[in-house]
Structure 1
């Protein structure tokens, strides 16, 4: 592991690209490796032990590729296994993600915040602690959203069916009068344009992509692991699923039709 080693990141599928894109914008000269664990997607409906095991196995794969820092770019994986990943791989910095409750507390004007996430995230202890710690004086309304991850995995972002399902989940939150919406799953930022259309301009929509990118940069600096190269960084994409199918979706979400996706046997 050296300064020129890559940053590794993973998610149950392509959702973590919402985090990776912010890392790329903030750290343009760092090399990036991303694993979409598509063969086991979505994580949010699986037993915690299974998600924890996948998180450990994929982290091991990324370390095997020489990653100098790992971003667990999946809320469900963080709920299920972030502590275990950090405990096992003490020699390498591990960055997790969490719903943007603290920023929402600072942004809301009327004290009503909605959170869209998986059941696993909403029912987890980490989420309860976040709300207790940062949402004092704020009403937090939660809404599980089954099916949205699968929509993003299929690349079906702006379709009538997507808008219909998203409206079904957002309507109860809008009826509560929320003025701030937290996207509590890394897949959901890709649905932001549709969500904003449904919510209207008066609702502020938050995700954690930029915050995670800033934390990644901060930890690299503290650990003296920032690359010392000046040329543009590269990206390598892997999937445990079918590479050609995943490549078509990653190409769309990453905005580059030339991306290559390799098979990850993990």
Structure 2
């Protein structure tokens, strides 16, 4: 495989803006790496879609993006898309693909009570993949799951500068706490890349004795490892954000994306 040119970007893909929580730590490790951030606003929210629909949609859309932007590596910065479509994407595309999976392994190592909460989309928390992670890394622990689509909407609203509905936050935490054994939860896995955008709000409701964790730092390290030794531009340049066209949901203002190093917006 030929070494990519310095200008070849890293492609980040998510249903919406949650993948920015993966982009941030990646830019901290690879500050001059060019990047394209793609959000499938026409398909948001993924948590409401069937497995079959996502297994077809995600590889097809990523194929278009890879053809257009010629990335050196693609990151599916979305737990739902990764748990359902990662294998399909890897089979369809001839470049390295990094997925995002719930951080159950570090949560199991961290818990003192043996009770872990997993907050994700409805699609993610029902996946057999989460069963497998729990069996492999959290044997002997209690893993409680709750699907909270309202947190995706809340995270998108917050990044646009809009108010976050506090009832949505309260319902999400109650969805874990109200399950048998839920009062003993001391670690909550944020199993959707949108959810760390609401970390402060979730922490305030969960309480100081609960640790919130996600996998973004580990994904960034994986990207750095896979691109080790490759050439990068000598100085950082603004990234591109590309959105699938949606009549219901226009792209956010550029000012909301600028803190993440994004300098322009495109639609497809």
1:2 matched to which residue of 2?
Answer: 4
Structure 2, unpaired ranges of 5+: none
Q: TM-score, normalised by structure 2?
A: 0.89
Instruction: Provide the aligned C-alpha RMSD in A.
Output: 2.3
Counterparts in 2 of 1:216 and 1:206: CA distance versus 1, 3 Å: same
Which residue is equivalent to 2:149? 146
Q: Distance in 1 between matches of 2:116 and 2:146?
A: 11
Residues 225-240 of structure 1: matches in 2 within 5 Å?
226-240=230-244
Deviations 1:35-79 (A, max 9, x none): 110011011111222212221122112311110100011111112
The alignment's TM-score, normalised by the length of structure 1, stands at 0.89
Structure 1 residues 230, 59: closer, same or farther in 2, change over 3 A?
A: same
Q: 8 Å contact 1:10–1:58 — kept in the other structure?
A: no
Match of 2:194 in 1: 187
Write the distance in 2 (CA, Å) between the matches of 1:200 and 1:30: 37
Cα 1:142–1:256 change in 2 (3 A) is closer
* 2:110 aligned with 1:107: yes
Tell me which residue corresponds to 1:246.
251
**2:216 aligned with 1:212:** no
Match of 1:83 among 75, 82, 87: 87
- Correspondences of 1:1-266 after superposition (within 5 Å): 2-4=4-6, 5-64=8-67, 65-89=69-93, 91-155=94-158, 162-174=165-177, 175-221=182-228, 224=229, 226-241=230-245, 245-248=250-253, 251-252=255-256, 255=259, 259-264=263-268
CA deviation map 1:189-246 (0-9, x unaligned): 101010011112211100111111111111112xx4x334331243111001359942
Task: State the alpha-carbon separation in 1 of the partners of residues 175 and 43 from structure 2.
Answer: 30
Give the aligned length: 259
Q: Secondary structure at the match of 1:154?
A: helix
Q: Offset at 1:166?
A: 1.3
Distance 2:54 2:21 in 1: 20
Would the aligned equivalents of 2:157 and 2:163 in 1 still touch at CA under 8 Å? no
CA distance in 1, matches of 2:113, 2:161: 30
Out of 136-145 and 252-261, give the one that drifted further: 252-261
CA distance in 1: counterparts of 2:145 and 2:232, whole angstroms: 43
**Contact 2:244 / 2:267 at 8 angstroms: preserved in 1?**
yes
